[in-house]
Amino acid sequence: MSTTPSAQSPDFSPGYKRFALVMLTIVYAFNFIDRQILVILQEPIKADMGLSDAQLGLLSGFTFALVYVVAGIPIAYWADRGNRRNIVALSLTVWSGMTAISGFAQSYGQLLLARVGVGLGEAGGSPPAHSMISDYYPPEKRGTALSFYSMGVYIGILVGFMLGGIVADAFGWRMAFIVVGLPGVVFAVILRLTVKEPLRGRWEGGKKAQQSPTLSNTLEILRQTPSFWYIAVGAGLMSYVGYGNGNFFPSFLVRNHDMSLAQVGITLALVSGVSGMLGTFLGGFLGDRYGAKDVRWYLWIPALGGLVAFLPGLFVLLTDNTSLALGVQAIVTVLATFYLGPCIAMSHMLVPPSMRALASAVLFFVLNMIGLGLGPFVTGLVSDYLQPTYGDNSLRYSMVITAFVGLFGILSLYLGGRRLQKDLDKNRQ
């Protein structure tokens, strides 16, 4: 595919493109600070409101995911036609404001409604940003660029865990929500004033790149593209493990390794945050490097990373040696986070430029309903079921069961890789 921009394309300097990518990555970091702050605060919220693990999973998973993915489709449809920069800025304002409001909740129902508001706002974050990045960067650099953007997940986890744990220990869980929520509102204004909207389809050129397909057009193309569904299901099952076990990992360390909330926040900020950033970036970098010769490696590298991480991941959950568990978890996190950037990049390669935001939204619909929607809820439900028999170890064994789901995700990515070239050739005709 030619990487020469169309004659109408604005001339973005390399420095400006890096600036825009960093700004969008910071937005994504706010996305996960505001999303994952609830995870580090689960234990004090559970004690304060008298909640079960299933209720915690519903709060941090299914309810949030349902609003997030349902709202994501129409917002992405809007983004494929409107100003994507403005949509991202507006969305950041909404979800950050609702995060701050979460600190004033006086009941489980009120907190649930506030998290619904966070999910509604966050639905407008990633699909428009993905589409913008694919117009800033040519196809052969998108895997790396989108993986850099996806590092925002782990920047957010790092800041959210560290700041949330420290603030909650010092001032309570309510103040932690307020402290992490308000800065996002300010940053939304900065984004609106400094980031430029790129020309849609600037690397593909021609009238086709500027067309506005209907929702049914986009869904029909995706329906006829089997590799897209292998990617979506594979990423969803990998994220099922990531969210299911990741959302309960702080609780696991508190219950099974006798760590304080502040210790957990600082430790996981380093273990999950730094390792996750490294793994997410490496996934895209390695995908671009080896995928240039054989496009199947865009999906096979994440599959291989997940496979190598599987047995060490079980060891982390079953050992009673805290230092060893955290050390191995750092390695597991690097390997298990290869998938996100390459999966987004390939989803964009499989559709025309004018369908990219919606393709991202459909990908995230599947990914988040399986991963964020079911992962924490089912993990918490199984933990509650096992609790009468296994006591404090119920969460440990529930997380072991969750880990096995990742094997099916690995298989789906492998099968998607086998089909990928055929679908790319078909959709370029």
Tens of pLDDT, residue by residue over 266-289, are: 888 888 888 988 998 999 899 989
pLDDT of residue 212: 65
What pLDDT score does 213 carry?
67
Mean pLDDT, rounded, for 1-29 = 75
pLDDT at 208 over 70: no
Mean per-residue pLDDT, 80-90: 91
User: Rounded CA gap, 248 and 277, in Å?
Assistant: 20
**What is the percent of the chain with per-residue pLDDT over 90, rounded to a whole number?**
45
Mean pLDDT of 405-427: 93
Average pLDDT, the chain: 87
Residue 10: band (very low, low, confident or very high) from pLDDT cuts 50, 70, 90: low
Structure tokens at 172: 């309570």
pLDDT (0 to 100) of residue 429 = 59
pLDDT tens for each residue of 109-167: 899 889 888 888 888 888 899 889 988 988 888 888 988 998 888 888 888 878 887 88
* Distance from C-alpha of 38 to C-alpha of 263, rounded to nearest angstrom: 16
Residues 68 and 338: their CA atoms lie apart, in Å, by 23
pLDDT of 8 over the 80 cut: no
**pLDDT value, residue 398:** 97
What are residue 106's phi and psi, to 5 degrees?
-110, -5
Return the domain boundaries, the chain: 14-190+214-427
Q: Is a pLDDT exceeding 80 seen at residue 204?
A: no
Q: How confident is the model at residue 195 (pLDDT cuts 50, 70, 90)?
A: very high
Does residue 349 contact residue 139 with C-beta atoms inside 8 Å? yes
Sign of CA dihedral 371, 373, 376, 379: negative
Question: pLDDT by residue (tens digit) across 368-378?
Answer: 889 988 898 89
pLDDT tops 50 at residue 207: no
Region 342-364: mean pLDDT is 86
Compute φ and ψ for 98, nearest 5 degrees. Answer: -70, -30
Task: Examine the pLDDT at 206 and tell me if it is beyond 50.
Answer: no
**Whole-angstrom distance, CA of residue 127 vs CA of residue 135:** 13
pTM of the model: 0.75
> Tokens 């291989």 map to which residue?
304
Q: Is the pLDDT of residue 217 over 70?
A: yes
pLDDT band at 11 (very low <50, low <70, confident <90, very high): low
CATH architecture of 14-190+214-427: Up-down Bundle (1.20)
What DSSP string runs through 357-409? HHHHHHHHHHHHIIIIIIHHHHHHHHHHHHHHHHGGGHHHHHHHHHHHHHHHH
Q: What is the phi-psi region of residue 105: left when phi exceeds 0, alpha when psi lies from -120 to 50, beta otherwise?
A: beta
What pLDDT does residue 205 have?
A: 61
